[in-house]
Amino acid sequence: MINLEPPKKAAALINQAYQAAVHVFRPISRKYDRAEHAHPSELDMFAEVLDGLNSSGEGGAGASGVRGDSAKKEKEGGNRNGGNLSTVLGTIEMCYGDVALLLSLPRQGLGNAAIASVGNEDQLKRFAKTWAAMAITEPDCGSDSAAITTTAKLDGDHYVLNGEKIFVTSGQRADAVVVWATLDKSKGRGAIKSFVVEKGTPGFEVVRLEHKLGIRASDTAVLRFDNCRVPKENLLGSPEIESQKGFAGVMKTFDNTRPLVAAMAVGLARAALEETSRILEEAGITVDYDKPANHQHAAAAAYLELEADYEAAHLLTLEAAWMADNRKPNSLQASMAKAKAGRSVVDITLRCVELAGVFGYTEESLLEKWARDAKILDIFEGTQQIQQLIVARRVLGKTSAELK
């Protein structure tokens, strides 16, 4: 049975991540929000510390995969609190500081999570020190990942990639990109595979960087692949086209990266709630947890409603990560956590801006920035609508063909 209290062994990680959020991220948060596309050089040394946490098995802030020693777990018995939960807990704390700066950390990209999840032993060693972004979305392919048109054709010892990817987080700064491409468009979903494409590979071009509403410290790029030759050893997973099973293997990465995005939302929501609580307290409005909401100030009642929403998202996120650590199918829970946290963080940050009045709409507080940053957390790694569709399919027992 899951215990929803953070495990004691994660206390040091949580404290370290919190200290990073408060003393590393917060002081430079506004600086890099204003200086969009500027490289946050302050993070380079800090990334080395996170590498140490990952290699020690304590978890980091985004690069953990879905691997685990299930045989060891069966031998030991009982529940397991592993890398997924540790990474989620660390991510929550660090996004209490700044989501965009977390996304700007070297070697902590979602591409790293994909490699850690499905890469073989050789790939894990070769790309151990590589910062990998994830490239899925295309100009004519948004939420429907199965509609990918970027192609990968086997030519001797290489795959030749052709296509364009948009909205690639860390697409310019990362050392490599995990690119989703199809081996054969006529074979449907099962032909979609992922490839590690390293920077400097001929035919791989960063076309431009996007100007964005939020997470401005994180670079978001458009990438183009023109007869880009990638060693066949860089294909993640099996090269065989296995109808639906092949695509399911690629999609499985989402079951473990979606809780990470939910964790980002939870950390950001907590930051907004705590700042709003401070502002309300300074205004003489106290939230009384021993008194019914309808007997309190309207702002206090609204705050209690937002806090309840936050708690629900928080618990769903922990559940999805715990299930991954214990090798339980968590597609439903991962999508529920992502949907709830993504929607909640947008509602919470916007309501906090309202409750804070002028302090929520000016740059005197980070509330207005957090409200802008929040929206992407309801979009990337699968939009709110896609998550609800996945949840509906799982609950009703419908296939993607039966429920679109």
Long-range contacts of 221-224 (CB under 8 A, 24+ apart): 221/168, 221/170, 221/171, 221/172, 222/164, 222/165, 222/166, 222/167, 222/168, 222/171, 223/135, 223/164, 223/165, 223/166, 223/168, 223/171, 223/177, 223/179, 224/163, 224/164, 224/165
Q: Which residues pair with 384 in a beta bridge?
A: none
- Annotated catalytic residue 210: no
Q: How many angstroms separate the Cα of 63 from the Cα of each of 113, 127, 149, 335?
A: 5, 12, 27, 19
**Can you count the helices (H) and strands (E) in the chain?**
15, 8
- H helical segments located in 193-330: 243-251, 254-282, 298-325
Catalytic residue among 242, 274, 381, 402: 381
Q: How many residues does the chain have?
A: 404
> Catalytic positions, please?
381
